[in-house]
């Protein structure tokens, strides 16, 4: 017989306990080890990370680590994170890891690579997430950039889709100070 592997809430609890047991000087390394499990269950990993980052936010380096990690996690696992339709929960978790601008930019940058793996629920979650993470005027621009292009349109090539995604990211960037 095989060994049982924790899943869902049990995995979140187990992962949280293991990472919390790390010595204080090894917190960032323990968080990195947790991230390495995202390929097996990204939603559980991000839930555990959100709780740990909230708990350790004042610890040196944790906030910077969280922003960098949020961007990397979304780039690699966006379809896995949005496959269930629960935007409020995902928004809370992601906001534990970074500010709205960081998360919004990471989602938009992840879209060109993720688009072929996104389900209808995934696209809905992305649209709702962008709506929650943007000011009203910027949300309209971001969501307009998500519209699929007709098949006969010359912009349907991969380069065209990536260019459209980059343009959407640029429209959402705050003006230079």
* 3 state DSSP class of 174: coil
120-174: per-residue pLDDT in tens? 888 889 989 988 888 777 766 666 666 654 444 454 566 665 666 566 555 555 5
Q: How confident is the model at residue 23 (pLDDT cuts 50, 70, 90)?
A: very high
What is the per-residue pLDDT for 49?
Answer: 97
112: Cβ contacts below 8 Å, ≥ 6 apart: 158, 161, 162, 165
What is the per-residue pLDDT for 121?
Answer: 86
In contact, 55 and 91? CB cutoff 8 Å: no
- For residue 161, count other CB atoms closer than 10 A to its CB: 18
6 or 104, greater pLDDT:
104
What is the per-residue pLDDT for 151?
Answer: 46
What is the per-residue pLDDT for 15?
Answer: 93
97 has a pLDDT exceeding 90: yes
Joined together, the tokens standing for residue 159 give 């380069």
119 has a pLDDT exceeding 50: yes
Percent of residues, the chain, with pLDDT higher than 90 = 55
| C-alpha to C-alpha distance for 75 and 102, rounded to whole angstroms | 12
The distance from CA 39 to its chain's CA centroid, rounded to whole angstroms, is 13
Phi, psi angle pair for 72, to nearest 5°: -65, -40
pTM score, whole prediction: 0.75
66 or 159, greater pLDDT:
66
Q: Which class for 66: exposed (0-12), middle (13-18), buried (19 or more C-beta within 10 A)? A: buried
Sequence ranges of the domains in the chain: 9-172
Q: Which class for 86: exposed (0-12), middle (13-18), buried (19 or more C-beta within 10 A)? A: middle
* 3 state DSSP class of 105: helix
* 3 state DSSP class of 79: helix
75: Cβ contacts below 8 Å, ≥ 6 apart: 106, 109, 110, 113
């Amino acid at each position: 017989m095989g060994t049982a592997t924790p899943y869902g809430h049990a995995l979140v609890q187990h992962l949280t306990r293991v990472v919390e047991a790390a010595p204080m000087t090894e917190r960032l390394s323990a968080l990195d080890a947790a991230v390495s499990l995202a390929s097996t269950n990204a939603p559980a990993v991000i839930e555990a990370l959100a709780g740990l980052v909230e708990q350790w936010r004042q610890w040196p380096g944790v906030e910077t680590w969280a922003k960098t990690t949020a961007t990397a996690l979304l780039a690699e696992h966006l379809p896995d994170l949005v496959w269930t339709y629960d935007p409020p929960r995902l928004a809370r978790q992601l906001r534990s890891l970074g500010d709205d601008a960081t998360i919004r930019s990471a989602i938009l940058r992840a879209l060109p690579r993720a688009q072929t793996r996104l389900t209808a629920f995934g696209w809905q979650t992305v649209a709702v997430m962008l709506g929650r993470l943007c000011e009203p005027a910027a949300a309209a621009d971001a969501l307009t950039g998500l519209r699929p292009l007709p098949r006969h349109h010359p912009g349907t090539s991969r380069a065209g889709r990536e260019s459209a995604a980059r343009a959407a990211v640029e429209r959402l960037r705050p003006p230079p100070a």
